Amino acid sequence: MKIDLTDTTASKINKALVKGRRAIGTPAVGMVLTLVIVTDEENAYDALRAANDASREHPSRTLVVIKRVSRSPRDRTKSRLDAEVRVGADAGTGETVVLRLYGEVSDHAQSVVLPLLLPDAPVVVWWSVDAPRDPAGDPLGALGQRRVTDSYAAEKPVHELRSRAESYEPGDTDLAWARITPWRSMLAAALDQIDCEVVSVEVAGEESNPSVELLAMWLADRLHVHVRRAVSAGPGLTQVRLETTGGPITLHRSDGAMATLALPGQPDRAVALKRRETSELLAEELRRLDPDDTYASALRFGVDRLGGIPSATQRADVSARGPESLPVRQKAPESSAESAAPAKASEPALPASPAGDADTGRPTPAQMPPVKKADSP
């Protein structure tokens, strides 16, 4: 069931929700949380579909906030709120309200969302695109106990990870982190099977994929070893190789579905490592609403501390940040030819002491007898 409301208010939207629940015969509210989705018109359909699929596991009231851009200066001064209320089969297992904000009200979306939150229920805010630099400091983000972003949707994912590390607050998380959960579980289980010590690690994956960077930072933070970042053709993460005292451990995935796990002294085995949909990632993040300390520790490790040849995106990012971000190299020592060069004419040479070098007591080169060359055989 759908109810369209034009130029409406939050009070009228609440009445439409009650009316819709009574019309389909479910007046009771059986939802466990409020999910606020902040997106644009282009990505609203995909974000709403992912939320509806995730609602099968987490029945929720979904509030979709779409800020519409006004084209003329006169329209920007006018405020208007249009809403589309969905209940029943059109809203998954919960209920959905699509909010379209025009004019000045788009700068105060929190005042529209606040009256529509479920009472005594946790709030999760998800930015499918264009996440703010500081999610916890955003007016909408301040309403939620959990704030979900997706650095994969950013134009510069590596720069986005740096911003997330600088502004991190307990409750922040990223769908790029959820994408590597199966990889982290598989690698942890592999290390439990053999008694060894990890010496170094190499993580390979496609360029501009923040999940590859996060997995590398997690391994470096947990294992306290050098982790090298390598670029491959993808899709996504392709390989993790751990050099250990007992031999290499390799987890390789080339097709985005099945992977091969190789352990020292054991036959290779095929493991399922499928790339998951956004709805599965969102459902995973909604299972826990407490702060993720492991994610925070890996994020704060820093992308710049990873080894390996920088990708094209990282080189462009370094160029934008300036040459001061590059490591300072030590000056190369002078060559033997330069060190043996005679002094400049403007600098008079000191006269040789007849008694030799005053510091060492050894004769100076001028006092030493000439060396005779031996006859060639």
pLDDT at 320: 52
User: pLDDT class for 153, splitting at 50, 70, 90?
Assistant: confident
Query: Does pLDDT of 259 surpass 70?
Result: yes
pLDDT at 366: 45
pLDDT tens digits along 154-212 = 888 889 999 999 999 999 999 999 999 999 999 999 999 888 899 999 999 998 889 99
User: Could you tell me the sign of the dihedral formed by the alpha carbons of 263, 266, 268, 273, in that order?
Assistant: negative
**Mean per-residue pLDDT, 317-321:** 49
pLDDT at 188: 94
**Mean per-residue pLDDT, 63-78:** 79
Query: Does pLDDT of 257 surpass 80?
Result: yes
Query: Does pLDDT of 302 surpass 80?
Result: yes
Is 147 strand, coil or helix?
Answer: strand
Contact 203, 229 (CB under 8 A): yes
Query: Does pLDDT of 355 surpass 50?
Result: no
DSSP 86-112: EEGGGGTTSEEEEEEEEGGGGGGHHHH
Q: Dihedral of the CA atoms 188, 194, 198, 204 (nearest 10)?
A: -50
User: pLDDT class for 68, splitting at 50, 70, 90?
Assistant: confident
**Mean per-residue pLDDT, 61-67:** 94
Rg (CA), the chain: 32
User: pLDDT class for 325, splitting at 50, 70, 90?
Assistant: very low
Q: What are phi and psi for residue 270, nearest 5 degrees?
A: -90, 130
pLDDT at 215: 96
Q: Tell which wins on pLDDT, 6 or 324.
A: 6
Q: Which of 160, 102, 131, 118 is nearest to 39 (CA)?
A: 131
Q: Over the range 84-113, which residues count as b (16 or more CB within 10 Å of their CB) and which as e?
A: bbbbbeebbbbbbbbbbbbbebbeebeebb
**Mean per-residue pLDDT, 124-142:** 94
Determine what percent of the chain is predicted with pLDDT higher than 90: 57
Query: Does pLDDT of 134 surpass 70?
Result: yes
Helices (H), 269-371: 278-287, 293-301, 312-321, 336-339
Most distant CA atoms of the chain, gap in Å: 115
Q: Which of 205, 251, 196 is nearest to 225 (CA)?
A: 196
Is the previous residue joined to 235 through a cis bond, with omega within 30 degrees of 0? Answer: yes
pLDDT at 243: 95
pTM: 0.78
pLDDT at 218: 96
pLDDT at 352: 40
Query: Does pLDDT of 291 surpass 70?
Result: yes
Determine what percent of the chain is predicted with pLDDT higher than 70: 79
Q: Which of 238, 193, 191, 247 is nearest to 219 (CA)?
A: 191
Query: Does pLDDT of 112 surpass 80?
Result: yes
* Distance in angstroms (rounded) separating the CA atoms of residues 51 and 368: 90
User: pLDDT class for 27, splitting at 50, 70, 90?
Assistant: low
* Distance in angstroms (rounded) separating the CA atoms of residues 73 and 109: 20
Q: Which of 43, 38, 5, 42 is nearest to 106 (CA)?
A: 38
Token duo for residue 376: 């060639």
Q: Tell which wins on pLDDT, 196 or 367.
A: 196
pLDDT at 99: 96
pLDDT at 375: 40
User: pLDDT class for 89, splitting at 50, 70, 90?
Assistant: confident
Q: Which of 69, 71, 65 is nearest to 51 (CA)?
A: 65
